[in-house]
Amino acid sequence: MKATDGSVRVLNYADGHDAAMILNMMQTYASDPAGGGAALSPDVLQRLVPALASVQGAFSVGAWVGQQPAGLINCLMGFSTFAALPLVNVHDVVVVPAARGQGLAPAMMQLVEQVARERGACKITLEVLQGNRSAQALYRRLGFAAYALDPAMGTAEFLQKKLV
């Protein structure tokens, strides 16, 4: 698959170059204000790719501009009890600042959707920060919308309770 000036593909967790790319992109993401603004610890970096590889159904999509790594999406399989089918949760989306606006995120999301369909997923889910207006606009253009079962109950919120 091609973006404006780059390419995208599913990454192989066992490949050293792909693993290094994941770690580099995740450091970029974590260090950005949208990713929390703090680098990942050496311990997390050491465990990350092997942990992803051990999660059944996990997959990552990478993007390059020329030979330079430029984007990453990490995905985890989940399950929809209302559809009794698998779903794909987009867990991390990062495009390096220098490559933004070149169509990498839509190209990566297109490949995520292709993999999700191949795996029989009923939907793709993701979370986005309220202040990340450009990402919100992108996701809406790609067909994502706030989740609601009954409009009278409002839209769903993503909540967390940290345990570690």
Q: Which residues make beta-bridge pairs with 61?
A: 10, 73
Residue entry with tokens 């889910």: 125
Q: What are the Cα distances from residue 60, in Å, to 81, 111, 147?
A: 24, 10, 24
Which domains does the chain show, CATH number per domain? 6-125 (3.40.630.30)
Q: Provide the 10 A C-beta neighbour count for residue 77.
A: 17
Q: Provide the 10 A C-beta neighbour count for residue 3.
A: 22
Q: Which two tokens stand for residue 94?
A: 């990062």
Cross-sheet strand order for the sheet of 59-65: 6-10, 59-65, 68-80, 85-95, 124-126
pLDDT at 6 over 90: no
Digit-coded pLDDT (tens) for 86-101: 999 999 999 999 999 9
What's the rounded Cα separation, in Å, for the pair 72 and 151?
34
Q: What is the pTM of this model?
A: 0.92
Digit-coded pLDDT (tens) for 43-73: 999 999 999 999 999 999 999 999 899 999 9
Q: Which residues make beta-bridge pairs with 93?
A: 73
